[in-house]
Chain A
Amino acid sequence: MRVSEAFASALTALRANRLRSALTMLGVVIGVGSVVLLVAIGSGAKREVEQQVEGLGSNLILVVPGEFALGSAPSVSRLKLEDVDYLGRVVGNRGSVATTVSSGEEVRVGSRRAFVTVNGTNENVPQVFDRPLARGRYLSRADVDTRRRVTVLGSQVAHDLFGDVDPLGRQLTVAGVRFRVIGVFAEVGSTFGVSRDLEMHVPVTAAQRLFGVDRIDALAVKAPTIDSIGRLQTTVVDALQRKYTGERFSAVTQTQILGTIGSILGLLTVVLGSIAGISLLVGGVGVSNIMLVSVRERTQEIGLRKALGARQRDILVQFLIEAVLLTTIGGLIGMTLGVAGAVAADRFTPLPTDVAWWSLALAFGVSVGVGVFFGVFPARRAGRLEPVTALRTE
């Protein structure tokens, strides 16, 4: 029997019992669909975060106290504002060093209020980070040096507090202290539904007074070229460790952050995919089970086919193709549903998704593989049936 004919005959067999075929396929449909969807969610998250890290600016070195690790509690900082000047001298350009000390505060305008991340920074932010303004101006060196109570608002904060009114020149209060709005950032969007436009920048000196601290949380240094990043990393860490003997500092680049985030979210994707893979496995067991039932039901047919000259191999191939067709059609339906689900999630929920071509290829390959793997056992059993026994079963 040729393979094309075996396919035609398998399709006839599957069509003959549509409901059972559909139910059997359902397991594979759900398995493949959830693999595609969950991998899309994982890779979407990864892409989103990577884009935002890249969007921070280029050739950036972030300096933090202690060891850098995502998810670990930040060490208590001993960095002081004077370290901005110190690092500026070390790297030879004060304008390339930005700083931050931040805290969540309630901000009010009249009766309106919003909970906002207040970032105390210096005038170098526009040179170091990639953070364009929509209106007004950024903080100046004079604002920082004279501890002026001025602020640049994130677009969401501006909207929440001032609505359609132009906020430039207007006042707001942070923990009872008045600030004047001098600029508004351009909108940068949100990550996982958390807006990055919900922050405001104030001079670091004013922020330290506001928060009652004299530390700064972190420093950021912009390297003049990509090639100088590595050297500058070492220079910066060495300089700080020389100054604060016994303390550890870390300087990380975007590439390193991306690598860390990438491996965490990559792991997340694998975990999500594996969980979905288990349902695919269960679907495969279902296929095996139904094929065994089918072999039993069709014992007589198998006997007849053998009496007409079918070899063991012909029968095996026939049943194997039925199993593979079941899982392959189920796989294709699952892929379609998975992609549709991913597109819908991307559009209608805060979850970013990114359908990876490799997950489609993998899902298809796995569904064919599941058919072969779970089909072989029933198919072999069918092929080995003795024709006499098979014909006798009536």
Chain B
Amino acid sequence: MTDPGGRPVVEAVDVTRSYRMADVEVTALAGVSLRIDAGEYLAVLGPSGSGKSTLMHLLGLLDRPTSGTLRIDGREVAGRSDAELAELRNATIGFVFQSFQLLSRTSAVDNVALPLVYRGVRGRERRERAVAALQAVGLGHRLGHRPTQLSGGEQQRIAVARALVGGPRVLLADEPTGNLDSRTGAEVMALVEQLNAERGVAVVLVTHDETVAARARRRIVMRDGRVVEDSAAGDGTVGDSAVGDSAVGDSAVGDSAVGDSAVGDSAVGDSAVGDSAVGDSAS
């Protein structure tokens, strides 16, 4: 392995996932083998129903494989209790969702701190780390704001900060630009890429937007529950070389000019797209 940490962050061998729906066995994943190393940046493409969401749930430890072997950060998923999976998820996975999934009545800093709450990090340290994460996404001046007071791009950046605050090994981004206009989406992607480069977090991007997917160094195409195309398959050199490469976006990213300047810029003129923050207190 070229990663100094040694082990791959994701190792899937012939993983399947099937459901029973009204006495009919539905196969969502029909045997996927996949290896993702630390610091990789890959896009998962495929039409809806191809199994990419199911793969995402499995990689995010939100679901268990029906058969096959799945290791996240070197740890076997099978045989673990829900509580153990929750702990592993908290320690190794960061999520970014299409609809942001922020608690609408909770301040930005408290939203970002939420993963640390479940890790048992104490109040002061938790806040410090959340503030640092918000500063890293360029929202250091928005700590006390609620998601509903912020634009869509800002909300998604809060979500990115939340995904990274716990220092995960993998960032799972499910259509992260789906609710943003193209410019704001590009800014968010540039931010994700910067963090991928600086922190060595593997980024798995699920999308059906080819322009977004084009930014990734590796692409996987799924169809009918199988991986039908993997740019790293065969020799495996694509993945390995990409890991050692710290210069982000030298090949794949077309509009790298958006990148760093926009991240630090507070006055990002992103229109509020799809404010679907989660109603945390809708009772």
Q: How far is the CB of A74 from chain B (nearest CB, A)?
A: 62
Residues of A278-323 contacting chain B, CB below 8 A:
290-291, 293-294, 297-298, 300-301, 304-314, 322
Whether A391 pairs with B280 at a CB distance below 8 angstroms is no
Cβ contacts under 8 Å, A388 to chain B: 57, 62-63
Cβ contacts under 8 Å, A20 to chain B: 283
Q: Which of A21, A309, A312, A322 has the most CB of B within 10 A?
A: A309
A387 is an interface residue with CB less than 8 A from chain B? yes
Q: How far is the CB of A223 from chain B (nearest CB, A)?
A: 67
Cα A310 to Cα B281 in complex, Å, equals 17
A227 is an interface residue with CB less than 8 A from chain B? no
Q: How far is the CB of B182 from chain A (nearest CB, A)?
A: 23
Stretch at the interface among B30-38, B87-95, B220-228: B87-95
Q: Given contacts A1-B118, A309-B90, are A13 and B281 in contact (CB under 8 A)?
A: yes
Stretch at the interface among B67-75, B101-109, B199-207, B208-216: B101-109
Cβ contacts under 8 Å, B114 to chain A: 305, 308
Q: Given contacts A306-B86, A307-B89, A309-B89, are A14 and B283 in contact (CB under 8 A)?
A: yes
CB < 8 Å neighbour of A391 from B62, B86, B118, B282: B62
Q: Given contacts A17-B282, A300-B278, A388-B63, are A308 and B115 in contact (CB under 8 A)?
A: yes
Cβ contacts under 8 Å, A13 to chain B: 280-281, 283
B99 is an interface residue with CB less than 8 A from chain A? yes
Residues of A5-32 contacting chain B, CB below 8 A:
5, 12-17, 20-21
Whether A294 pairs with B283 at a CB distance below 8 angstroms is yes
Q: Which residue of chain A is the closest to B106 with respect to CB atoms?
A: A12
Cα A217 to Cα B57 in complex, Å, equals 90
B interface bracket (residues with beta carbon within 8 Å of A): 20 to 34
Whether B82 pairs with A12 at a CB distance below 8 angstroms is no
Q: How far is the CB of B190 from chain A (nearest CB, A)?
A: 24
Cα A298 to Cα B283 in complex, Å, equals 7
Q: How far is the CB of A10 from chain B (nearest CB, A)?
A: 10
Q: Given contacts A16-B105, A290-B283, A388-B57, are A312 and B89 in contact (CB under 8 A)?
A: no
CB < 8 Å neighbour of A294 from B63, B91, B282: B282
Q: Give the A-B pair count, Cβ closer than 8 A.
A: 99
B218 is an interface residue with CB less than 8 A from chain A? no
A242 is an interface residue with CB less than 8 A from chain B? no
Whether A314 pairs with B118 at a CB distance below 8 angstroms is yes
Residues of A250-297 contacting chain B, CB below 8 A:
290-291, 293-294, 297
Whether B117 pairs with A5 at a CB distance below 8 angstroms is yes
Q: Given contacts A2-B120, A294-B283, A311-B118, are A301 and B86 in contact (CB under 8 A)?
A: no
Q: Given contacts A12-B106, A394-B99, are A309 and B280 in contact (CB under 8 A)?
A: no
Whether A12 pairs with B281 at a CB distance below 8 angstroms is yes
Q: Which residue of chain B is the closest to A310 with respect to CB atoms?
A: B118
Cβ contacts under 8 Å, B82 to chain A: 311-312
Q: Which residue of chain B is the closest to A13 with respect to CB atoms?
A: B281
Q: How far is the CB of A343 from chain B (nearest CB, A)?
A: 35
Q: How far is the CB of B83 from chain A (nearest CB, A)?
A: 5
Whether B278 pairs with A304 at a CB distance below 8 angstroms is yes
Q: How far is the CB of B125 from chain A (nearest CB, A)?
A: 13
Q: Which of A1, A294, A301 has the most CB of B within 10 A?
A: A301
CB < 8 Å neighbour of B276 from A12, A16, A394: A394
| Shortest 5 CB-CB contacts between residues of A and residues of B | A309-B90, A16-B281, A294-B283, A309-B118, A13-B281
What would be 15 A-B contacts, judged by CB atoms less than 8 Å apart? Answer: A1-B118, A15-B281, A16-B283, A293-B283, A297-B282, A298-B283, A301-B279, A305-B114, A307-B95, A308-B115, A308-B162, A309-B86, A309-B89, A309-B119, A312-B86
Seen from chain B, the residues whose Cβ lies within 8 Å of a Cβ on chain A are 57, 60, 62-63, 82-83, 86-87, 89-91, 95, 97, 99, 101, 103, 105-106, 114-115, 117-120, 162, 166, 276, 278-283
Task: Please name 14 further chain A to chain B contacts, defined as beta carbons within 8 Å, in addition to the given A291-B283, A307-B89, sorted by A numbering.
Answer: A1-B120, A12-B281, A14-B281, A15-B281, A16-B281, A17-B281, A17-B282, A21-B283, A294-B282, A298-B280, A301-B103, A301-B279, A308-B118, A309-B118
Seen from chain A, the residues whose Cβ lies within 8 Å of a Cβ on chain B are 1-2, 5, 12-17, 20-21, 290-291, 293-294, 297-298, 300-301, 304-314, 322, 386-388, 391, 394
